[in-house]
Structure 1
Amino acid sequence: MTGKRDVTENQGDAGDEHGPGRGNRAEPESRPRRRTGGRSARVREAVLKATAELIAEQGHERIPIAEIAERSGVHQTSIYRRWRTTNAIVLDLSQERLTSMWAVPDTGSLRGDLLAYAKRAAAAMAEPDAAVLLRALIAGAAEDAGAGGDAGAGGDAGAGGDAAAVADADAESVAAYVDAGNIPATHPLAERGQDLLEMLDRAASRGEPRLRLFDVLDGILAPIYLRTLFRIPGIDDAYLASLVDNCLGHATT
């Protein structure tokens, strides 16, 4: 189905998992492990790029992995082994976008950090496929959570179990759980949440007021997401500054 491209890729690595039957062949214990990255990173990039294109073209509802394989030139078997489901690919794609486009700033002040972050988030949401990808992320995260949180890229069943452990707790307990950095590894905001927590800790260490992670998520990201999803205009610098100032009003000393 993907023809010459798969064959060409496979020739670059005699032990590649794309080769017929080679994925199940045990390697000698004395043979050193292959380093991750390189070709593996190129495969991931191709799959994520193809998924983003397909989401932008036709929405996110049940894009077949066969279609992603066709578009990316990566064999279906390799995609299933790494991600298992389309939702897992969408979650991985969202992590990539969050990491690459929304770098957490360090301006020297908490207000400066929050305002710079809000502007970067707004700029990312202004991308042509942002609303479609955000809807796909919401749907994928909901289904992943329903499956126990174990279908994500590099999924961690233990992390899913941790999330389930607080599912029935009151809202304050859940907020404290996440603010403490206990974000399930499969959650789309896991890596970004850790980055934001470091930013908030850095500000507190400078003697600035303490904000909770939920203050930032609820006060800055949620309104930007909402306006993006419902195509509500007005996400300008003045609006973003008002979100930041309102958020800082929740800070404790």
Structure 2
Amino acid sequence: MKEPQPPATPPTPAAPAPARRPGGRSARVRTAVHQAVTELIAERGYGTFTVGDVATRAGVADSSIYRRWGTLEALLMDAVVSRLTEHSPVPDTGSLRTDLRSFAAKAAEDVTGPDGLALLRTVLAALATGPGGESARDKFLAVRSEQLQGMLERARARGEDAPDVLGVLDGVLAPIYMRVLFGVVPLTPEYVDGLVESTLARCSG
């Protein structure tokens, strides 16, 4: 007669995988590298520093930059486009007029800040170098257009007359950027608000 066997020990549940921190190391590296690029552009200008200079300033290895961005030009454009789009989200105030005024004021603040002109000149210099610059321009316009489209669609859903994206780019952003590039400053709040009012007036006919 067989002796009774002790009950089987239930399997120990697997320990849950550690939760990943939002962003994590990759996001921290991107932030540090972008900051280093912005500082070097402001201090030295376009074409006067290397990947090694960026890596040293950011506290990362050269190989990390090459692995992620491939070339210095691709890194520069990623940093500039990020600065001009991700750091200046399109507002949602409940009114197209106040949305556009807030958007225009932030755009003016960005390009008249300590490194704003250097960033704009970097985009122009990259455009002059060939396909890489064109890619950066297309990315900037695509991101900005998508952000603006959302703002304009919200306005139409509220029953407001709204221009198209090109109307905002032509009527608001282009004059701000051109004034800064050609040194026609300051961009007063009255001037920036006037760009918004002119754009809305053309839309309402």
TM, length-normalised to structure 1: 0.66
Alignment: residue pair count: 186
8 A contact 1:87–1:144 mirrored in 2: no
Q: Give per-residue Cα distances to partners, 1:78-101, cap 9 Å, x unaligned.
A: 111111122221222123223443
- Cross-structure match for 2:60: 74
* Identity level (%): 45
Q: CA deviation at 1:198?
A: 0.3
**C-alpha contact (below 8 Å) 1:115/1:244 kept by paired residues:** yes
Q: For 2:27, which of 41, 46, 51 is the aligned residue?
A: 41
Q: Is the 8 A contact 1:104 1:196 kept in 2?
A: yes
Deviates more, 1:100-109 or 1:131-140: 100-109
State the match for 1:84 in structure 2: 70
- What does residue 10 of structure 1 align with? none
Q: Is 1:242 equivalent to 2:198 in the alignment?
A: no
Render the CA deviation track for 1:135-176: whole Å, top value 9, x for unaligned.
112323554635873xx6xxxxxxxxxxxxxxxxxxxxxxxx
Confirm whether residue 197 of structure 1 aligns to residue 149 of structure 2. yes
Q: How does the TM-score come out when normalised to structure 2?
A: 0.80
Q: Which has the higher contact order (CA 8 A, sep 6+)?
A: 2
Q: Which runs of 5+ in 1 are unaligned?
A: 1-33, 153-182
- The 1:139/1:236 distance shift into structure 2, 3 A limit, reads same
- Where has structure 1 moved over 3 Å in runs of 4 or more? 141-149
CA distance in structure 2 between the partners assigned to 1:130 and 1:252 by the alignment: 33
Higher helix share: 2
| 1:186-222 Cα distance to aligned partner (Å, 9 max, x none) | x123222211100011111111113111111111011
User: Does the CA-based 8 Å contact 1:119-1:240 persist in structure 2?
Assistant: yes
Aligned to 2:79: 93
Kept after mapping to 2: 8 A contact 1:101/1:120: no
Instruction: Give the counterpart of 2:107 among 113, 121, 126.
Output: 121
